Structure 1
Amino acid sequence: MKNRAHLPRVAPEGQGISSQAVIAFLDAIRDKKLELHSFMLLRRGEVVSEGWWAPYRPEYPHMLFSLSKSFASTAIGFAAAEGLLSVEDSVIGFFPEEVPEAISENLAAMQVRHLLMMGTGHAADVTRSMQKNENWVQSFLAEPVDFVPGTHFAYNSAATYMLSAILHRITGQSLLAFLKPRLFTPLGLSEATWETCPRGIAIGGWGLNVTTEDIAKFGQLYLQRGEWAGKQILPAAWIDEATAYQIDNDDGRANDWTQGYGYQFWRCRHDAYRGDGAFGQFCIVMPEQEAVIAITSGVGDMQAVLDVVWAELLPALSAAEVTEPNEAIQAVLAERLASLRIDAPQVELSSPNEVQLEGRVFHLEPNELQLETIALRFSEQGAELLIGNKRIGDQNVQLGRGAWKESRIRIESVKRGAEQNAEGSFTWKNGNTLEIQLLFVETPFTYTLTLRPDGEVLELDFSANVAWEAGRILTIRGQAASR
């Protein structure tokens, strides 16, 4: 999957930022042990620096999680510009057949703009309860609306889903179909996918998958206030409104999640704004510095990433003096960018226990991952991991010995079982513990499988680099099948 058109590239000094500042950014990311997968730094519409931590690649789409919300908001902006709806329209007016028998005053007062600003009036996120019913619209409208809409901020992915449902209702199109001629084609974005609800409506609040450069272009469109290649494709007034302070979200913490919220965009410190998604997917727009930063990652502490941006890149972008090129420093930066990588684990590359495991099938106890069997076949170059799962089919995963090896595999928890690019490796620890790592390179997730064989019994620990329950380890036991 490749972008149809690429942004122009230039050395950092070509747009007034020093290569040394980018090196400092990379140093800080390394020193703080933040797992970035890619970044692109744009200044005045040109890419001044970019990097992918191998085995992540520029052509791979990446799960955006809640960064999807900013794209959904943009679709509403196009619809409003074309007169298909107004942000003052009543939400229940779009779904007369889905409303509850008793319509509360607060529900009746809920408008499209309240969905956009996360000010629906719900006391908290209602997404999980909305998903209990196959008809998410009906479930959403049945939820109690505790506050007058517009007076209470509650981050609520269900609100974004309702924006998608409204667009689907008035146009008969999915978010992607609607955005393709208006956003994707003009900007030359790559092909994308967007997950859907049980009734086939795009989820809106998450589920979009695009490349890092697509994220960067999206941010550049907003920096240019809706203008692209000399044409105003989205009204500047909408850009200004969507990225402005629309509702207070200050909860007493002095961080980048308490600076106010726009229309599916977060206000930031330093007069910047951003779209972001779980585990470190960022589109940061810095109008005063004429800069955009796109980042994909697998981090638990998203504030730490923003702190590095503010500490290392913001001062360089804000500097008044012109930065003179330094060929030696530029060469150092080029070398650093070319050598970015996530290392495969390398402890012991082989073990006598491989003979005991070779070809043996272990039947696993019932588990939430729905893994049924596991087996390994070893070779000089690596190994093949065979996973049995009746629900989504058996998987054969290639593993390198202390190196990454590519496969196409499916996992239920990733993009609804869609086939994924994955990189696998293994190493031995203490001769009797096998550690397998699987990088799902279109997602933030790295899965670690730790296998401890003991005769006919296998104990397997499953963990992830990031998860909704941080640090959780799932232990599954297995029994060898008869030879």
Structure 2
Amino acid sequence: MTPLPRSTPSAQQVDAGGVLALLDALDAAGTEMHSLMVLRHGHVVAEGWWAPYTAERRHLLYSLSKSFTSTAAGFAVAEGLLDLDDTVLSHFPELDAEVTDPRSRAMRVRHVAAMASGHTGETLQRAVAVDPVDVVRGFLLTPPEAEPGTVFAYNQPCTFTLGRIVQRRSGHRLTEYLRPRLLDPLGIGEVGWLRHGEDDMGFTGLHARTEDIARLGQLYLQRGRWDGVQLLDEEWVADATRAHVSNEREPNPDWQQGYGFQFWMSRHGYRGDGAYGQFCLVLPEQDAVVATTAATEDMQTVLDAVWAHLLPALGAHPDADAETELAQRLQQLRLDPVAVGSGPAAPDATPRELTVVDADDRTPPGLTAVTVQAGEELVRLTLHQRTSRLEVGAAPGDWLVGEAAGRQGPVPVAASAGWPQAGTLQVEVAFLETPHRLVVTCSEADGTATARWRTVPLHQGELDTLRCPD
């Protein structure tokens, strides 16, 4: 993979002080960032990963996956595999006799692309309740409350259906279809996409690197051109990145600016975004792209910080002293490990099995026990979940990066341990290909433990599935 061109902030008329102010604001807000990459005039001018996260690590993008699905639809339209004015039902003729609701029958491809199916809310649970195997069938058998094209509702089956149409018409999964058209031309290496049945999920589940996110944003910023070649139709780019239906009733200001074809309009530019702070911000007026991965439940705070501190720095007078400070700061980014604290009560080579108690909606489902073997230099933790178990090594006062042994294969993790008080062991396990960190607190006195996510995985399942799929 040929890296994107690198440059200094000052060479691209970026004030490094604004990037520093952005980092300060995110720190002050307590936002857990995993990566940041800023491009201007096609050059990377700032980039950093909060250790133990690294540049080469793929990261779950959640709904930022939708923008890649939209791009696949753009290629399919250009190749004549589908038309935006096709009815959705025309691509699923086997359902024609079952789908009788006139609004469902009238729903067009452009409506699902724009989250304007006519439904007034999320339909995923309802669609799966109708048909857990064929989500498109469940979706089309869930009648819209309004005419398609008239209302906005963020609705996962819309994107799933769009992706399913592309996969059905092309005969390839989304990753396979995008490889020669998008991924290889942009220099995007191996990615992974979670599947539903034989299909890539489309609305979520893509794992890619931060630079891959930036490359997609740069392609759209360049109106579909890459290395002098028009890869993606310029008309599709324009159509995908303009508002098609009002979403002014959404709760946060950057979610009220309109919605395109699987892209959100922002107060500045437009973006793809995914849960917990996975962002691809495209800023045409500033000729800039910002890519982030993170683990925050307050995504608006990230955007507010970008608008307040980074936006004014794009095109501002450079500060040479700040540039030196920024380079050092970006090299030293790090998530705080667990403090060592009081240390283990006494060396004990005997593993102890503790019962998980006080389970709630932040506890991994089916997690019943943890086995702990705590030493001064290494803590071994085994998480018992239903019929599987995950074995993790943690470093007291530091991050130990490795691969946890799981039933479905190795899981990339980093784990840190400490004793906040005598007799209490805390272990934090970061699942490095996701935004998620599990905090396990063990009470040696009563033989119990609690386990809670800092951010809850939206794909709840076995812990050993929290990795990039093969």
Tell me if TM exceeds 0.5: yes
> Residue 441 of structure 2 aligns to a residue in which SS?
strand
Letter in 2 for 1:204: G
Give me the whole-angstrom Cα distance separating, in 2, the residues matched to 1:376 and 1:252: 45
Corresponding residue to 1:73 among 70, 77, 80: 70
1:2-401 equivalence runs, <5 A: 4-99=1-96, 101-132=98-129, 133-197=132-196, 199-251=197-249, 253=251, 255-270=253-268, 272-319=269-316, 323-324=317-318, 326=320, 328-348=321-341, 350-352=343-345, 355=348, 358-362=350-354, 369-389=365-385, 391-392=387-388, 394-401=389-396
Q: Which of 373-382 and 394-403 deviates more?
A: 373-382
> Residue 17 of structure 1 aligns to a residue in which SS?
coil
Query: Counterpart in 1 of 2:414?
Result: 423
Asked whether the 8 Å contact 1:121–1:147 carries over to 2, the reply is yes
After superposition, the C-alpha distances for 1:97-135 in whole angstroms (9 at most, x for unaligned) are 134635121111100000100000112111122233212
Structure 1 unaligned spans of 5+: 470-483
- In structure 2, the CA distance between the partners of 1:302 and 1:159, relative to structure 1 (3 Å rule), is same
After superposition, the C-alpha distances for 1:272-309 in whole angstroms (9 at most, x for unaligned) are 00000000000000000000000000001000000000
Query: Counterpart in 1 of 2:448?
Result: 459
State the Cα distance separating 1:354 from its structure 2 match: 5.5
Give me the whole-angstrom Cα distance separating, in 2, the residues matched to 1:102 and 1:335: 60
State the Cα distance separating 1:137 from its structure 2 match: 1.7
Asked whether the 8 Å contact 1:100–1:141 carries over to 2, the reply is no
> Residue 131 of structure 1 aligns to a residue in which SS?
helix
- In structure 2, the CA distance between the partners of 1:169 and 1:299, relative to structure 1 (3 Å rule), is same
After superposition, the C-alpha distances for 1:66-112 in whole angstroms (9 at most, x for unaligned) are 00000000000000011111100110011111346351211111000
Give me the whole-angstrom Cα distance separating, in 2, the residues matched to 1:338 and 1:42: 17
State the Cα distance separating 1:345 from its structure 2 match: 1.4
Give me the whole-angstrom Cα distance separating, in 2, the residues matched to 1:178 and 1:136: 21
Asked whether the 8 Å contact 1:401–1:425 carries over to 2, the reply is yes
Asked whether the 8 Å contact 2:52–2:401 carries over to 1, the reply is no
After superposition, the C-alpha distances for 1:169-223 in whole angstroms (9 at most, x for unaligned) are 11111010000000000000021111111x2111100000000000000000000
> Residue 430 of structure 2 aligns to a residue in which SS?
strand
Give me the whole-angstrom Cα distance separating, in 2, the residues matched to 1:365 and 1:430: 19
Letter in 2 for 1:451: C
Give me the whole-angstrom Cα distance separating, in 1, the residues matched to 2:264 and 2:406: 32
- In structure 2, the CA distance between the partners of 1:94 and 1:28, relative to structure 1 (3 Å rule), is same
Corresponding residue to 2:401 among 399, 406, 413: 406
Query: TM-score of the superposition, structure 1-length normalised?
Result: 0.89
Give me the whole-angstrom Cα distance separating, in 1, the residues matched to 2:292 and 2:329: 17
Aligned-residue RMSD, C-alpha: 2.0
Asked whether the 8 Å contact 2:394–2:415 carries over to 1, the reply is yes
After superposition, the C-alpha distances for 1:366-399 in whole angstroms (9 at most, x for unaligned) are 976323442222334211112334633x322111
- In structure 2, the CA distance between the partners of 1:102 and 1:316, relative to structure 1 (3 Å rule), is closer
State the Cα distance separating 1:26 from its structure 2 match: 1.0
> Residue 97 of structure 1 aligns to a residue in which SS?
helix
- Mapped pair 1:450 → 2:441: yes
State the Cα distance separating 1:364 from its structure 2 match: 5.2
How many residues matched? 452
Asked whether the 8 Å contact 1:398–1:405 carries over to 2, the reply is yes
- In structure 2, the CA distance between the partners of 1:468 and 1:380, relative to structure 1 (3 Å rule), is closer
Kindly, what percent of the aligned residue pairs are identical? 39
Give me the whole-angstrom Cα distance separating, in 2, the residues matched to 1:238 and 1:345: 48
Runs of 4+ in 1 over 6 A off after TM superposition: none
> Residue 297 of structure 2 aligns to a residue in which SS?
coil
Asked whether the 8 Å contact 1:366–1:372 carries over to 2, the reply is no
Give me the whole-angstrom Cα distance separating, in 1, the residues matched to 2:123 and 2:176: 27
Give me the whole-angstrom Cα distance separating, in 1, the residues matched to 2:32 and 2:355: 34
Asked whether the 8 Å contact 2:414–2:429 carries over to 1, the reply is yes
Asked whether the 8 Å contact 2:166–2:174 carries over to 1, the reply is yes
